[in-house]
Amino acid sequence: MKVKLPRKEGKNIEFKERLIYDIHLKEERKQQLATQMKFRLEKGNGVAVYIIGVRENGEAKGLSELEFEETLNILGIIARENNARIEKVEKFFENGKIIGRIIIKQIFKVEKKESLIIGVAGHVAHGKSTLIATIITGEPDKNGSKWLQLNVLPHEIERGLSADLHFTLFGFKNSFPVYLKNPLDKKERARVFENSDKVISFVDTVGHEPWIKTTIRGLVGQNLDYGLLVIAADDGITHITKEHLGILLALKLPLIFCITKIDKVGDKRREEVREEIENLIKLIGRIPFRVKEEKDLNIIADKIEAIVPIFEVSSRTFEGMGNLIKFLSLLPKRNLEIEKPFLMFIDKIYKIKGVGTVVSGTVKQGKIKTGSTLLIGPFTSGDFKKVKAVSIQTHYYPLEEADAGLIVGICLKGIKHEDVKRGMILCDPSFSPKAVRSFEAEILVLTHPTRIASGYEPVLHFFTASQTAKLECIDKKYFKSGESGRVRFTFKYYPCFIQEGDKFIFREGKTKGIGTVTKVIN
C-alpha cells in the first residue's frame, strides 16, 4: 500500500524516524519528548499525529517490526506523561519496511471504575466456559461452540477441555450490561472496559482432575471477591464439585451456585439436583435460596455472606440467564485495600518481542502508576531486585494507574524474562518485603486416610505460589481428619513471601487441609 504522508509537519503533526529505549527514556530526553508532545496536543485540541519511520524532511526510511514496536511503546510512555493515550495505529509497508501513523489523544477525564473478580469453578464438562461466554456476549449458545471463545490453546480445542486459567471481562454501564461482540478481539475487550462503570473479571478455572493445581492457582491466587460454582443438571454434584467448594470455603468467599444444562433434563431431575445442592449448602452452615424471579435478587444481594443463591440456567436456550446477569450487576465490591502499599503476586510471565518482560496478576492491595519503581522477588537467594513499571494494561486497555482488585499486565524494565518465576511478588519499596523459609500456622485437616505427623511433606498453595514444605507438629503428636492445631512449616527448596494472616491450602494428590499463617519465623 502506498503511504500518503503529509509534506511537512502541521501544528499537531510530528515526524519521528525511530525511538530507542536506552536513549529516549533517559530522564532528560524523555522530558524533552513529553514537552514536544504536549505542544502538539495543545495545537491539535487534544489530538497529536505522529508519523514514524520517516526522516525530519518527510522522506520515508521505514522500520523493522522490532523497531516499530519499540518506537510505539516509547510513544505510549510519553503519552501517559501527558495524560494521553494511543488512540489509533496505522501500519503501511514500503519496500518491506514499516511506516506508521499514530494518533494520540488527550484523556480529559479518568473515571474510577468499580471492579470485582469472580472465580468460576466446577467439574469438567459442566459448562463453565460456555456459561461465561454466554454471559459476556448476551447471546445463547445455539451451536455449542461458545466455549471456544475462552479456550484458545490448540490442545484445548483438540480435546474440548480447558487446560489453563482463562480471564475475560463483563461490563455494566448504569447497571445495564455492556456486551462483548467478539471476546477474542483485544480492541473489543478494551472497548468494554472503557465504556463500563463497573467491570467484572471472570477467572475461568479447570475442571479436569489432573489440573487441580491450576484450578487452585486460579481460586487462591487471584484475590477473588466471589466464587461461582457450576453444576450440570444432567450430572449433579461430583467429588470435584466438593473439592472446589472446599477451596472456596477455605478462602471464606461468598458463594453463588449455578445449575447449568437445565434444557437437557426434565423437572424431576432438576428437583433432585436442586435438593442435593440445598442439602450441601446447609451442611456448610449457609442458607440456600433458589432464585425464581427478579424480585428475589434484591433480597439476597446484601446478604450474600450468609445466603447462597441458586440459579438454574441454560446457555443453549438462555433460560434463567437474565436473572443471573441482573444479579451480577448488584454485587458489591468486597476486597478494598487501596490505602496499603502496592502488592501483587505474579501469575503469568510473558516475553513479548519489541516490548520485553511482561508479568500479569491481580493487584492484591494498594495502587500502581506507570513509571513506578518496584521490588520483585524473592529470588532463591532471598533477595529482592528493583525494576520499573514501564506500562500497565487491563484486558488490553492501557492504564495510568491500577487499584487493588484489577487483573493487570505490567511491562517491566530492569529484569530478564527467565529470571522471573510464578509466585514472586511485585511491591512498592515501602512495603519492605522479607523472604520467608519457615512459619507457624493453624491448620485444619479436611481429609486424610491415615495420620499426619511431624515429617509430613505436602505441597502448599498460597496465592500464585506453590512449593513442598516439611511439617512439624507443635501442640500435638499427630492430626486426623477433622482435627485442627498448630504446626510449623519449612519450605523445602527456596524462600517465599508469606505474611501473618495469609491463608493456604496443602495437598498430597488431593486437597488435604487448609491453614492460616500465625507467625513468620525467618
Return per-residue pLDDT of the chain as tens, 522 residues.
444 555 555 678 999 999 998 899 888 899 999 999 999 988 887 889 999 998 877 778 889 999 999 999 899 889 888 888 888 888 888 888 999 999 998 775 445 788 899 999 999 889 898 999 999 999 998 876 665 556 444 433 334 444 467 888 899 999 999 998 887 777 888 888 888 999 999 988 876 665 677 777 777 777 889 999 999 999 999 988 998 898 888 888 999 999 999 999 999 999 999 999 999 999 988 999 999 888 889 888 888 989 999 999 999 999 999 999 999 999 987 766 778 999 999 999 988 776 789 999 989 999 998 889 999 999 999 999 999 998 888 887 878 788 888 889 999 999 998 999 999 999 999 998 999 999 999 998 887 778 899 999 999 999 999 999 999 999 889 998 888 999 999 999 999 999 999 999 898 877 678 899 999 998
Strands 401-403 and 176-178: unpaired
Kind plus residue range of the DSSP H or E element containing 132: helix 128-137
| Backbone dihedral region for residue 53 (phi beyond 0: left; psi -120 to 50: alpha; all else: beta) | left
Q: How far apart are CA 413 and CA 257, in angstroms?
A: 42
Q: Cis bond leading into 378, ω under 30°?
A: yes
Q: Where are the beta strands (DSSP E) in 174-220?
A: 176-178, 198-204
Q: Which amino acid is at 99?
A: I
Please answer whether residues 273 and 231 qualify as being in contact, where contact means their C-beta atoms are separated by less than 8 angstroms: yes
Gyration radius from the chain CA atoms: 25
Strands 226-232 and 176-178: unpaired
Please name which of 352, 361, 420 lies closest in space to residue 387, comparing C-alpha atoms. 420
Q: How many Cβ atoms sit within 10 Å of the Cβ of residue 1?
A: 9
Q: How far apart are CA 403 and CA 276, in angstroms?
A: 40
Domain 114-330: top CATH class: alpha beta
Domain 13-106: top CATH class: alpha beta
Which pLDDT score, from 0 to 100, does residue 383 have? 94
Which pLDDT score, from 0 to 100, does residue 178 have? 94
Which pLDDT score, from 0 to 100, does residue 35 have? 92
Please answer whether residues 75 and 104 qualify as being in contact, where contact means their C-beta atoms are separated by less than 8 angstroms: yes
C-alpha cell at 98: 514499516
Which pLDDT score, from 0 to 100, does residue 482 have? 85
Q: Does domain 438-520 have CATH number 2.40.30.10?
A: yes
Which pLDDT score, from 0 to 100, does residue 423 have? 93
Please answer whether residues 130 and 146 qualify as being in contact, where contact means their C-beta atoms are separated by less than 8 angstroms: yes
Domain spans in the chain, listed from the N-terminal domain onward: 13-106, 114-330, 343-431, 438-520
Q: How far apart are CA 399 and CA 123, in angstroms?
A: 35
Backbone CA torsion sign across 91, 94, 96, 99: negative
343-431, superfamily in CATH?
Translation factors (2.40.30.10)
Which pLDDT score, from 0 to 100, does residue 360 have? 92
Please answer whether residues 171 and 328 qualify as being in contact, where contact means their C-beta atoms are separated by less than 8 angstroms: no
Please determine whether the domains at 343-431 and 438-520 fall in the same fold group of CATH: yes
Q: How far apart are CA 81 and CA 35, in angstroms?
A: 9
Please name which of 345, 358, 405 lies closest in space to residue 169, comparing C-alpha atoms. 405
Q: How far apart are CA 226 and CA 254, in angstroms?
A: 5
Backbone CA torsion sign across 278, 285, 228, 288: positive
